[in-house]
Amino acid sequence: MASNVALHAGGVVAALDLLRRKDAQRRAASTTWLLVGLAGWMILLHVAEIALWAFAYRWVNAMPDLSSALYFSAVTYTTTGYGDLVLPPPWRLVGAVEALTGILMCGWSTGFFFAVLSRLLQMRR
């Protein structure tokens, strides 16, 4: 969980730095493409965070292979929860922690995206 928060924080800070550096260019560029790029960046962060969980599950042998671990992690992180794959009993609470972390990271991304969009709309006025 801590590695996900650290990765997400680093990614948000990197996005903020890029947005600040591109301020003059952004005024001339399409807002749509800026938002598409930002959304893509945030999704890449989430995919990296899902992969961290998957590697952890594989490392402790909680999943039979990396493909299953990635699938389970994606379904858990996004709280889709199909239930076709489950962790062994000693690790089941870890799955719940991943789901809570995913909710928090997705909420953070949503808040960040909204803040950027609000700022862009203020700059247009």
CATH of the domain at 97: 1.10.287.70
In angstroms, the CA 31 to CA 76 distance is 33
* Average pLDDT of the residues in 35-62: 95
- DSSP helix/strand/coil, 33: helix
- Which H/E stretch holds residue 88? none
Secondary structure (DSSP) of 82-97 = --SS---GGGHHHHHH
**Mind listing the pLDDT tens digit for each residue in 65-117?**
999 999 999 999 999 999 999 999 999 999 999 999 999 999 999 999 999 88
How many domains, the chain?
1
pTM of structure: 0.84
Residue 68, domain extent = 2-124
